[in-house]
Amino acid sequence: MADTAETAVNRILSKEIRDDQRLCVTGQVTVVAAEDMLLAARRRREVAERHHVEEAAHVARLEVLRDLLLDRGLGLVWWIDRYADLQFSAGDPKTKTESVLDAFQLVSDALHADAAFGQRDANALVRARVEELLSAFRDPGTRTRAMDLLETVLSLLSPQSATLEGDKSVDHEGLIPVTGSP
């Protein structure tokens, strides 16, 4: 740590102070820190690193739990296993089971809604870009260049389908191929 501070201070001291050729200022610094201060700094860094690792592990566990609850095959089974003690405790097992199932449905619906909310935002962006693209097609010149570009992209991505569709596609006699960039 002292080495880092010393390097930082020396880097700042080595910068030019002014453009006057008659003046030359140099300096060097050595940072001296007490051993207990260095030890305290190391402990703080270790605590911060440990906290960061714990937070990352917690987030990973939550992501696994979310994926498990959203899994159609395992979600309900995990939920029932997790709360099995509540189902078979004193009282009517049917009522307890219905309560566990209702709680799972509520949690599952909330997680699905949350997952769909994130996808809706991404889909909205895609829809906006498609709308922008479609509005650009109103100009005949842009439409022609876009068709040529689209055919090029399709032939690069899927050469077989572009060739097959090229034989069955719309007549392009009136279209002028674009060789340069738009």
10-residue averages of pLDDT along the chain (182 residues) = 72 72 72 88 93 92 86 82 71 78 84 70 68 74 83 82 52 53 46
Q: Which domain holds residue 159?
A: 140-182
Is 9 inside any structural domain? Answer: no
Q: Are residues 77 and 124 located together in one domain of the fold?
A: yes
Is 121 inside any structural domain? Answer: yes
Q: Are residues 130 and 147 located together in one domain of the fold?
A: no
Is 89 inside any structural domain? Answer: yes
State the pLDDT at residue 52: 92
State the pLDDT at residue 130: 74
- The neighbour count for residue 79, using CB atoms within 10 Å, is 19
Q: Are 9 and 30 in contact (CB under 8 A)?
A: no
Burial of 117 (0-12, 13-18, 19+ CB in 10 A): exposed
State the pLDDT at residue 94: 79
State the pLDDT at residue 48: 93
State the pLDDT at residue 117: 65
Q: Are residues 130 and 164 located together in one domain of the fold?
A: no
Question: Minimal CA–CA distance to 75: which of 119, 99, 109?
Answer: 109
Q: Are residues 76 and 125 located together in one domain of the fold?
A: yes
State the pLDDT at residue 44: 94
State the pLDDT at residue 181: 47
